[in-house]
Each structure stands twice: as structure tokens, then as C-alpha cells.
Structure 1
């Protein structure tokens, strides 16, 4: 952080906390107490009304307020929750920016609005995966790499492992992709880009990537591609119908399962319709309900379930 940014941050910190010791400011901005003393002198010379009390700390003269920004309680809550979400899900660079933004937002809030916003925020919580888990850390590193490739307009190379094998039985491949955008879907990061191997737009889950690297090859994103307007082609043309027992009906409805197309209450249970590309996509989900669910159609999927159950029976 350069001196100009630090001086502004000090003013915001004083505005947010009221009274702050030089030692605490030094720890907050990772500098020496002597540097903080010089910063206070510079702020005073710039006509910022700093008040210093020996043994207590620094504060701003009553009535001084910077900058003239006004937020409602609802606006403040929205901004603070958004910053918290970025802290949870983005890479370290943006995590730090989010923390800094949150501090600035809190600093410019009038005391009453700040208290009301804090009260509301204490009743809400954004849940995420453990940010310290190896998988989450790796995904955030990949987000940082993809984001840099997007900024530099450079292609990416990586090894990719699909969730299901191709017709030839392969699941792993090496890809070179021109990234067009990043999106967070169901808590997982997805990259959209033009794949050299397939010669078309494809979606890639960052958690399935390895050996991700930015290449020296540049690219130009098509002028007619807009990430926020883009909708992938829906090629889930197969319908799977299941009958679930009444005792798990509410659990299925509340699951918000991606492939869930429709539910219909019937006297003998819940009629569930899934829409898939291939039955392998929902095999584990169906088996997870055990005897509480029955496949009605297609018949080929009923046979697949029988075969899988038989394999399980032999294993046990």
C-alpha cells in the first residue's frame, strides 16, 4: 500500500472506530509506529483535523466526516453482505479488496445506520465450504489464473477430467481454451470458453482442472459474446420418471436437484420427472434414496439400476 492510499485508509479507520492507538494502526497497515506518527503529521498539514491524546490514541475532530456518501440500512446490508460473499468465494487478491471495501463502507456509515445494519447482519449468514480446505484453496488459485488470462486475453492450457467417460471410455484430456468468462453456479466456479479440441464453446468446472497455465497465445473474444446474456444450449432431452414414497416427498422437493423437472403428488407417492442427457448423470442420486424410490421409465434405466444393485449385493 502506498502512502496516499494509507493516509486515506487511516482517516477511514479513525472515522469508523473513533479512537485508535498508533500501535494498532501500525499493526493494521503493517508498518512502524514511527511511520504512523509521520502519517499523522502529514494529515494534519493537509488540514485533516486529527486529535491526539497521549496514552489514549488518535481521533478525528467531532463533526468531520469523509466522504459525503449516504446509504440506507438496506443498501448498507446489501453492500456488506456482497463484500462478505467475495471474501468467501474469490481468490486472495479480491478477498483483500473485499475486506478493504467493507471497512470503507462501515467507515462512511452514520452511527445509527451502522448499528442497524450490524443488527440485521447478525441475523444472517452466508454459508460456504471451508475456505482452508485444500480443494477450496486450489479452486481459488484457479480463479486467479483464469481471471488473469481473461484480463491479458491469453489462452489457457490444462488437464481436464470429465465427470463421465466419453463413448471411447476416456475421461481425461488436455485442453487449450480461450476463456470468455467465469461464473459461479451452485457454489462451484465454471469457465466458459472456446475449446480448441472441440472447436466450439464449452463449460469447464475449475475443480476438475489440473496443471492449469496461461499460454503465450492470444485470442480475441467475439464482439457479439456477452457473458450476462449468454445461455448455454440445453441438450437434456431424455426424461426419467420415478415414484418416490410419500415419506421422502418433501425432501425431494426441497433438494432443488439440478435435473429435477417436475413433481406430482399422487395417492401412491410422489411422481418425479428428471430431465437428463444420459442416465449416468442421475444414477448415484437415484441409488442414494435406496428402497424409497423406484424407476418407472425408461426401462433401460431400470435395468441399469438392477445391474448396479446386483453388483452391490455381490460386493457385500
Structure 2
């Protein structure tokens, strides 16, 4: 009898812990108990959960009349619910930052800790995206490397890496380059994770960028580097200055925008400011690294005109002219 009671209590308690609604008739029918016994068991669990020295501080078992049963109130406030898990899963799938096996493992674990009554609903909503998920071309597992890099940054440890550089033909070189680095940050952008680091012995004003998936070997050394906290690297600030993880010279860019959504421009360029506005035409200024912002501006076509600085404007004009000549030459060949 005691074992039977334990089975029922564990069943009710587990359902409550998982965010499910415990309905009287469901329990009565499953275990063939009477109504009085059900209420006694609910009281036993309620006394356990709500006692002063309980580890479940702030949580209470209440009758939710809308849902038609008992729930563990307060559980949803401290754990991920179905809306949050669905949103996180969607972002992860869209990012395409991990290979399929890693993304499936992460989403499955998110579902495990989700406090909701119907996890199958989330699986159904994202099921097609998971099945048709396309891994990034590098095909490498990254979680361990990302953790190693993060640990080195936190502990200010010097990294010794072997790295595959990009060749002039647009393909990754077979030859490995070795770098001794002072790791500063870890960023994600357009499908890839990047290590931001200063090279030992070099006095560059800004750090160098390395794609994590191209790191062949990574060793955290016993050596530490010093951090000048008044000049320490700030991931968030650096992120505002860079596009497509391309550096170049840091410049104050000024351009005219006449496209469909100025909101999208301000989201894309976090430190941009509108300095003038008139009938759907915006004059925008932003501090950005030249190479990356140039790529973005070119992608906007006739919606953008660079106004300054003059040198950068001329560079844009030259690039556009080269593009025009490329198309004209193609037409002549045909």
C-alpha cells in the first residue's frame, strides 16, 4: 500500500515539476483511487512543497480553474516556458552557427528543461526546420573550442593556436599558421564564431579576427597577459563598429538613405544616428570600420549615397564603376 501511495505521489509531483496540469479525474482513473484519496495526496504534496525549509521557496500548489487542475505556481517564473524555448530554438536554427548534431542536442536539452504542459507542440512547430537544417560548410563541432576560448579570456591566459588562413583564391589554405594570442573576446556574426585577439609582439591599435572553425589546434598556455582595465576590450562596443567581421580603418561615415526601413538601418548599425530627416530621406552618421561598412553600403544599391568622408566616397564610386564595367564586359562577350 505504501509503495502504491509513493507511486501516485511521485506521478503527481513529477507532473507538477514539469509544468503540467494535474487533473483530478486523470489521476483517479489512472490509479483507480477515490476523490478523497486524491485530495489527501494533493495536501501531502502541498505540505511538502510549501514548508518553510523547502528547497522550492516561493512555489505553491494552487487550483487553476482556467486550466481545470492543479499547477505548481511560481515554477514558470524561474524556468524557461514554451514561448521562451520556442523563440530560442528559432533563433538558434536561423543562426546556422552549429552543425546539425550539436543544434539537435542543444534544442533537445532546452525542451527537457522547459516547464510546459505540451512539449510536443514545440517539437511540431520546429520539426520541419530541424529535419531540413543545413549545417555550416566547415562541418566542425565548436562547443568545446568556444568554452576553451571563453575560459582563456576570463583567466587572461595566452593562447597558442594553429590556424588555417584564407588564400587569395577564396579558399582556405592547406598550410597551417601559428599564432601566439592575447584573447579579448568571442563574437558571432553571419553563421560563424570569431575569436578577437591581439598578436603577441605586435602593436596594432585594434585586435585581429580569427574564425573559430579554422583553428586547427588550440592550447591554453600557463602564461598570462596583463590587462589595462582603463583600455580593456569591450565586446559590445567593438560589435557596434564592425560589419561582416571586416575591420579596416575606423572612420566616421556619413550617408543618405532613401530605402524602405530606416529602422532596419539603425538595427544593423547600432551606433548610427540620424542627423537630418526630410520626407523619407535620412542623413545618417556612424563610426565604423571601413571594409565592413563598405560591403553593407554596396548591398543597399540605389537606396544609399555616401556623403563622406570624401576619400571613402571616392572609393565607393571607384568600386561601383568597376562593377559597372564588369557587367558591360559580360554584355560584350555575349
TM-score by length of 2: 0.50
Instruction: State yes or no: 1:261 paired with 2:272.
Output: yes
Secondary structure at the counterpart of residue 268 of structure 2: coil
Structure 1 stretches of 5 or more lacking a match? 1-7, 19-50, 54-61, 107-113, 165-171
Map 1:38-187 → 2, pairs under 5 A? 63=42, 69=56, 70=59, 71-77=74-80, 81=84, 85=88, 88=92, 96=105, 99-100=108-109, 102-104=111-113, 106=115, 114-115=116-117, 132-135=134-137, 137-138=139-140, 141-148=141-148, 151=151, 155-159=159-163, 161=165, 174-179=178-183, 182-184=186-188
Secondary structure at the counterpart of residue 239 of structure 1: strand
Structure 2: how far apart are the matches of 1:83 and 1:267?
A: 39
Instruction: State yes or no: 1:305 paired with 2:316.
Output: yes
* 1:47 alignment partner in structure 2: none
Equivalent pair of 1:150/1:180 in contact (CA under 8 Å): no
Structure 2 stretches of 5 or more lacking a match? 1-9, 21-29, 33-40, 60-73, 169-175, 242-247, 328-334
Equivalent pair of 2:307/2:313 in contact (CA under 8 Å): yes
**Which of 286, 289, 306 matches 1:274?**
286
* 2:296 alignment partner in structure 1: 285
Offset at residue 273 of structure 1 (A) = 1.5
**How many pairs are equivalent?**
244
Secondary structure at the counterpart of residue 134 of structure 1: coil
Distance 1:229 1:304, change over 3 A: closer
* 2:200 alignment partner in structure 1: 196
- What are the Cα deviations for residues 26-78 of structure 1, in whole angstroms up to 9, with x where unaligned? xxxxxxxxxxxxxxxxxxxxxxxxx999xxxxxxxx65689953435343346
* 1:219 alignment partner in structure 2: 223
Offset at residue 118 of structure 1 (A) = 9.7
Distance 1:72 1:243, change over 3 A: same
Structure 2: how far apart are the matches of 1:82 and 1:224?
A: 39
Secondary structure at the counterpart of residue 79 of structure 2: helix
Structure 1: how far apart are the matches of 2:233 and 2:184?
A: 11
Secondary structure at the counterpart of residue 261 of structure 2: helix
Offset at residue 262 of structure 1 (A) = 1.2
Structure 2: how far apart are the matches of 1:275 and 1:315?
A: 31
Offset at residue 157 of structure 1 (A) = 0.6
Distance 1:206 1:13, change over 3 A: farther
Supply the RMSD in Å over aligned alpha carbons: 5.5
Distance 1:216 1:123, change over 3 A: closer
TM-score by length of 1: 0.53
Offset at residue 90 of structure 1 (A) = 6.9
Offset at residue 161 of structure 1 (A) = 5.0
Secondary structure at the counterpart of residue 219 of structure 1: strand
Distance 1:291 1:173, change over 3 A: farther
